[in-house]
């Protein structure tokens, strides 16, 4: 059986499948469980019923990640590439020195 666990403000904390014999054991302290399937990003539980969140609620619950400028993004390079860069720097330093 499908279940939804939510807190006192209606936020869906988790969902899944379980045997009917353990359905009531899915909720922990300060949590409630109902049968069903929901989208925790777009929905919440009010008075034991699944309802859609407003666009404002969705945005507040799921803020966008800050935009990182290209020059500040992480670069993944191999050890070989790193060694080549270090060798080139050493040659430049030796040339200037």
| Kind plus residue range of the DSSP H or E element containing 57 | helix 55-61
Residue 97 is predicted with a pLDDT of 65
Q: What is the pLDDT of residues 25-58, one digit of tens each?
A: 999 999 999 999 999 999 999 999 999 999 999 9
Q: What is the pLDDT of residue 53?
A: 97
pLDDT at residue 11, as a whole number: 96
Q: Can you read off the two tokens belonging to residue 36? A: 């069903």
Q: What is the pLDDT of residue 70?
A: 86
What is the percentage of the chain residues whose pLDDT exceeds 70? Answer: 99
Instruction: Work out the end-to-end distance of the chain between its first and last CA atoms, rounded to an integer number of angstroms.
Output: 74
Q: What is the CA radius of gyration of the chain?
A: 26
As for how many domains the chain has, the answer is 1
CA angle 84, 89, 91 (to 5 degrees): 95
CA dihedral 41, 42, 45, 49 (to 10 degrees): -140
Q: Domain span at residue 41? A: 2-96
> Is the pTM above the cut of 0.95?
no
């Amino acid at each position: 059986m499908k279940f939804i666990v939510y807190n006192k403000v209606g936020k869906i904390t988790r969902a899944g499948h379980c045997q009917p014999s353990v359905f009531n054991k899915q909720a922990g302290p300060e949590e409630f469980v109902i049968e069903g399937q929901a989208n925790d990003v777009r929905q919440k539980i009010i008075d034991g019923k699944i309802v859609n969140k407003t666009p404002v609620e969705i945005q507040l619950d799921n803020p966008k990640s800050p935009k990182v400028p290209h020059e500040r993004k992480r670069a993944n390079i191999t050890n070989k590439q790193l060694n080549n860069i270090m060798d080139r720097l050493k040659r430049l330093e030796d040339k200037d020195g």
